[in-house]
Amino acid sequence: MHPDLERILFDEQTILEKVGQLGAQLSADYYDKNPLFICILKGAALFMADLVKRVTVPMEMDFMAISSYGASTQSSGAVRILNDLGKPIEGRDVIIVEDIVDTGLTLAYLRDTLLRRQAASVRIVALFDKPGGRKVEIAPDYYGFTVPNEFIVGYGLDYAERYRNLPFVGVLKSDIYATGNSDKPEQA
Ligand code: XMP
Ligand code: MG
């Protein structure tokens, strides 16, 4: 437990078990496709690292940094690419690796962007799905857990860049962000 958390939702073992299942599923679905896994920094970094270790078929990795939330717990709706992919993705079967789908604005933007670059296919794997937060209709093709419409941190997810290192995921106490400096735009 952590003093800034109201409660724990998923402990480390539960998360790793689920990540293993997602890795097995993706390995089966993409066994002959040499998929390109694109990690959306920074939130998905821990998920990506654990996920690719469970992928048993040929694959490649790349990374993209985007801005969405910043230090706030509310999505601004504005999405910006801070660091782009290393190579063109034309003809590639792409898997976007995200931490969480909340409003859906980030993924809607990313999926369209990658399709415009003529990827052969674009699917989304998100560890967490927060359907109660949706503003645009989009669903991850693969996801680990559904979460309530509350602000969660840990296992890559931050509040104002903190808590990413926690090996578990929990709900942040609301007095932490009520008193914080909340609207400096930073990367997700
Ligand atoms: P959207 O709203 O575009 O958001 O689907 C995706 C990004 O917003 C961040 N996000 C969260 N980060 N706890 C966090 O630490 C949360 O509960 C949360 N909800 C959304 C996250 O960076 C994600 O990539
Ligand atoms: Mg974030």
Best of 2, 5, 67, 69 to mutate for ligand 1, by most ligand atoms within 8 A of CB? 69
Tell me the per-residue pLDDT of 54-96, one tens digit each, with 9 for 90 and over.
999 999 999 999 987 555 556 556 688 999 999 999 999 999 9
Strands 80-83 and 5-10: unpaired
Query: What are the boundaries of each domain within the chain?
Result: 12-148
Three-point CA angle 181, 185, 186, nearest 5°: 105
DSSP string of 104-167, one letter each residue: SHHHHHHHHHHHHTT-SEEEEEEEEE-GGG-SS----SEEEEE--SS-EEBTTB-BTTBSTT-S
Q: Is the CB of 147 under 6 A from ligand 1?
A: no
Best of 7, 46, 99, 186 to mutate for ligand 1, by most ligand atoms within 8 A of CB? 99
Q: Is the pLDDT of residue 163 over 80?
A: yes
Q: Is residue 102 flagged as an active site residue? A: yes
Q: How confident is the model at residue 40 (pLDDT cuts 50, 70, 90)?
A: very high
Smallest-distance ligand from the CA of 151: 1
Query: Could you report how far apart the first and last alpha carbons of the chain are, in Å?
Result: 24
Percent of the chain with pLDDT over 70: 89
Residue 150 Cα: closest atom of ligand 1: 17
Q: Is the CB of 151 under 6 A from ligand 1?
A: yes
Q: Considering the candidates 99, 102, 129, 158, report the single residue annotated as catalytic.
A: 102
Instruction: Please enumerate in sequence order all residues whose Cβ is within 8 A of that of 147, keeping only pairs 6 or more positions apart, or say none.
Output: 9, 100, 128, 129, 130
Task: For residues 36 and 176, give the distance between their C-alpha atoms in angstroms, rounded to a whole number.
Answer: 37
pLDDT of residue 180: 55
CATH 3.40.50.2020 is the classification of domain 12-148: yes
